[in-house]
Structure 1
Amino acid sequence: MHHRTLFDGKVVEIATTMHSDPRGMLTAIQFGSYSFHPVRAFVVTAPQGTSRGGHAHRSGRQLLMQLSGEISIEFRYQKQVERMILTPVNRAILVESSVWARQTYEGENPAMIVFCDTEYDPESYVTAAGFD
């Protein structure tokens, strides 16, 4: 299966598997395939049309996974700009440190879960997008 990558692999679309039966849907990710070892997670919900994020991290990686709605993401890295939309079909991406990202929440009840391989550190945030 081909996975979209951006910025020479700094952003990688992650494969998810979906299992459906009369009880509902189960969606899974295998972290080991990406040498990703999360130590924390958080869920973000936002009103439709709201933008969040707008920063990069000095260290650590984050895996972003769409839970509901659509999450439009603008990425910036070394003066390049790319965009990707997380949907029920294209659900998850792995983002390396130094990639700036801003998420816009669209659709019905938009929500995303974020897994991080580092503890929370407010000193790690970089808000400038490299275009100043």
Structure 2
Amino acid sequence: MDESKGKIIDLHKIIDPRGNLTFVEECRDVPFNVSRVYWVYDVPAGESRGGHSHKHCKELLIAISGSFTVSLDDGKTLDKILLNHPYQGLLIENGVWRTLDDFSSGAVCLVLASDYFEEDDYIREYDEFLKDQECL
């Protein structure tokens, strides 16, 4: 995977016979201040999430339960990453089109975002995204 789009980050994993524990610390494990946390769940079979790019916001996606595939597109190449370990996160840079597909039953995607929600930060039309990429 091209690291200008994103990269897998191994998170802390404490193995314990009573149950494992994983944690993430702002500005240590995640290279930004966390301004927003949200999660995506109960995605019906065959449905997709994402389908947008951010102008400024960076995100860390974690499959805290189940699995799903993340497609990262910079307008030139497409990478597909399976997220299925709760001790790994996918850091997604701004300016990258992302789509989440193939959710397993019971999958939960936790997202740590660098910015508060701001509709103006989103590019929701793929043609507009491609046009912006040409200007870079």
TM-score range, shorter chain: 0.7 to 0.9
Task: State how far apart, in whole Å, the 2-side matches of 1:37 and 1:105 are.
Answer: 29
TM superposition shift of 1:19: 1.5
For residue 117 of structure 1, what is the aligned residue in structure 2? 114
Task: Among all aligned residue pairs of Structure 1 and Structure 2, give the percentage whose two residues are the same amino acid.
Answer: 24
Report the CA distance between 1:79 and its aligned residue.
Answer: 2.3
* SS, match of residue 106 in structure 2: strand
- Could you tell me which of 1, 8, 12 is aligned with 2:7? 12
Whole-Å separation in 2 of the counterparts to 1:67 and 1:48: 18
Q: Which runs of 5+ in 2 are unaligned?
A: 132-136
CA distance in 2, matches of 1:35, 1:103: 22
Q: Which amino acid aligns with 1:115?
A: L
Deviation at 1:89, TM superposition (A): 6.8
- Per the alignment, residue 71 of structure 1 pairs with 68
Relative to structure 2, which stretch is displaced further, 50-59 or 73-82? Answer: 73-82
Distance 1:131 1:10 in 2: 15
Shift of 1:53: 0.4
TM-score normalised over the length of structure 1: 0.83
Deviation of 1:29 after TM superposition, in Å, equals: 2.8
Aligned residue among 37, 41, 44 for 1:47: 44
Check conservation: 2:50, 2:99, Cα contact below 8 A: yes
Count how many residue pairs are aligned between Structure 1 and Structure 2: 127
- Cα RMSD (Å): 2.1
Larger fraction in strand: 1
